[in-house]
Structure 1
């Protein structure tokens, strides 16, 4: 089951509009761009695990994919079910409501950074492997170990002295906690090092294909992004050149790991 503070965060609308503007918009556009270049052609079957209200499921369904959202938040599932071409079920990434070898793609664009214990994350990877057909792909999102450190300076969170211990804990072991439930700060999570998902993938019996940065360091310059997000062609084309660059991975707020069964 989802931790109570995480469930409450999303039930209260946490991050509902996050992907619609600024650096959240960059995350959304880049994730869409990576998926477009990675997924098999439609009408492949996609299981969007942790897909929330269907922000990625909807454009995939419109492109001809057969998409099912699986999410632990009933309110999210209710919204996703209203989208044309999208099915939606309440479920947990560690115990998916899907038969063996029934999907061509599993998206884990949220679950891994809300599973603080490694065995739980490996269980999610293994469930993805179970429901995939041979040759199927997993695309999984993680948050960088260093994201809250940078975020604290970019957004002024260090003005509150309670934020520093949170960052120090993040850096020490990746376990992120918001003990006072400050609304501006993220809820309980796990922040990965860039090379960490490789071991999780291997333990699940999958083969690592690539790890790419989503936003690159540009997410730390929200003002500079304003002139590029409405017409993002140049931005997306240039970031493709550096998305695999190992020396930049940790400076991106989010990473995408692609693995194959």
Structure 2
């Protein structure tokens, strides 16, 4: 399933708190906002593939959905299974332990950017297409091609001369290859161009309905973002404004994450 490098990165436990503050918190709030608008109504069945420790699975279960989580990291699965209303299984996005047409919605919020080979990403999309029921929805998260370049300046990673080669390669072929999972930088991943996703989904038997910028460029605002998210009023305004421009094509590449909403062909 996962390479030993990526598995070790996630075994450090960063997923427990990653979405709780700053840009991670914005990612969660925006992803949740989109899900509330594109998922079928509860009590639909949701398969949360690559759902990590269940950060989305638990609120979905609380909202009345039947949620089963699949993740390749055993520690994630154990933690997710302890959440109220969530069941969880160790598994691979490319070979899901689920029957054909058994879910009303399939979430791929974690696996796609850790499948560096195109054939593996298409296999994950194809498995989602197999599992989702006719009339259901598939929602996949990907990372923008330019994220490591922006992140290098936001977090001063370029001060380490080893970081620039990672960025240079990612800009060329999308592969962010970080063989040392112990560094602060993100583990190895694939970074998409927004326009490249349609071909992957078409090959997998899915049709793109929408592409949505999750954070827009505001994930790069640093301490100011923390101040905004500390205010309920400013947070509500932020979410309202981002909703208005979420599918603006000229802004998709500036967002750290994209959500692609698709349906079976």
The answer to whether structure 1 residue 75 and structure 2 residue 64 are counterparts is no
* Over 2 Å off, 4+ runs: 179-183
**What's the TM-score once normalised by structure 2's chain length?**
0.97
Determine the structure 1 residue equivalent to 2:236.
233
Q: Which residue of 1 aligns with 2:86?
A: 86
Distance in structure 2 (CA, Å) of the matches to 1:92 and 1:198: 22
SS of 1:168's equivalent? helix
Q: In structure 2, how many angstroms separate the alpha carbons of the residues matched to 1:255 and 1:71?
A: 20
Indicate conservation of the 8 Å contact 2:15/2:52, yes or no. Answer: no
Structure 1 residue 162 corresponds to structure 2 residue 181 = no
Using a 3 Å threshold, how does the CA distance of structure 1 residues 202 and 107 change in structure 2: closer, same or farther?
same
Distance change (3 Å), C-alpha of 1:118 and 1:9? same
Residue 140 of structure 1: CA displacement? 0.3
Task: Using the TM superposition, give the Cα deviation of residue 226 of structure 1 relative to its aligned residue in structure 2, in angstroms.
Answer: 2.1
1:179 deviates by 2.9
2:245 to 235, 238, 242: 242
Cα contact 2:144–2:193 (8 A) shared by 1: yes
Cα deviation for residue 197 of structure 1 reads 1.1
Per-residue deviation, 1:69: 0.4
Distance in 2, matches of 1:126 and 1:135, equals 16
- Aligned-partner SS, 2:217: helix
How far residue 222 of structure 1 moved from its aligned partner, in angstroms, is: 1.7
Does structure 1 conserve the Cα–Cα contact (< 8 Å) formed by 2:69 and 2:89?
Answer: yes
Give the secondary-structure state (helix, strand or coil) at the position aligned to 1:138: strand
Match of 1:11 in 2: 11
More divergent stretch after superposition (240-249 vs 10-19): 10-19
| 1:221, distance to aligned residue in structure 2 (A) | 0.4
Corresponding pairs, count? 261
Per-residue CA shift, 1:134-165, capped at 9, x if unaligned? 01100000000000000000000000000000
Secondary structure (helix, strand or coil) at the match of 1:196 reads helix
3-state SS of paired residue (2:101): coil
CA contact (8 A) 2:101 2:132 kept: yes
In structure 2, the gaps of 5 or more residues are: none
Q: Where does residue 122 of structure 1 map in the other structure? A: 122
**Within 5 Å, which residues of 2 pair with 1:39-50?**
39-50=39-50
- Could you say which residue in structure 2 is the equivalent of 1:258? 261
CA distance in 1 between partners of 2:180 and 2:3 (Å): 15
State how far apart, in whole Å, the 1-side matches of 2:18 and 2:218 are. 17
* CA deviation after TM superposition for structure 1 residue 13, in Å: 1.5
Q: Partner of 1:89: helix, strand, or coil?
A: strand
1:31 aligned residue: 31
Alpha-carbon distance, 1:11 to partner: 1.0
Alpha-carbon displacement from aligned partner over 1:81-133 (angstroms, at most 9, x marks no partner)? 11111000000000000000000000000100000000000000000000111
The Cα of 1:182 is off from its aligned counterpart by 4.5
Unaligned runs of 5+ in 1: none
**Partner Cα separation in structure 1 for residue 195 and residue 36 of structure 2:** 24
SS at match of 2:195: coil
Q: C-alpha distance in 2, partners of 1:209/1:253?
A: 20
Query: Bigger CA drift: 44-53 or 177-186?
Result: 177-186
**How much is the aligned-residue C-alpha RMSD, in angstroms?**
0.9
TM-score in terms of structure 1 length: 0.98
Cα separation, 2, equivalents of 1:45 and 1:15: 24
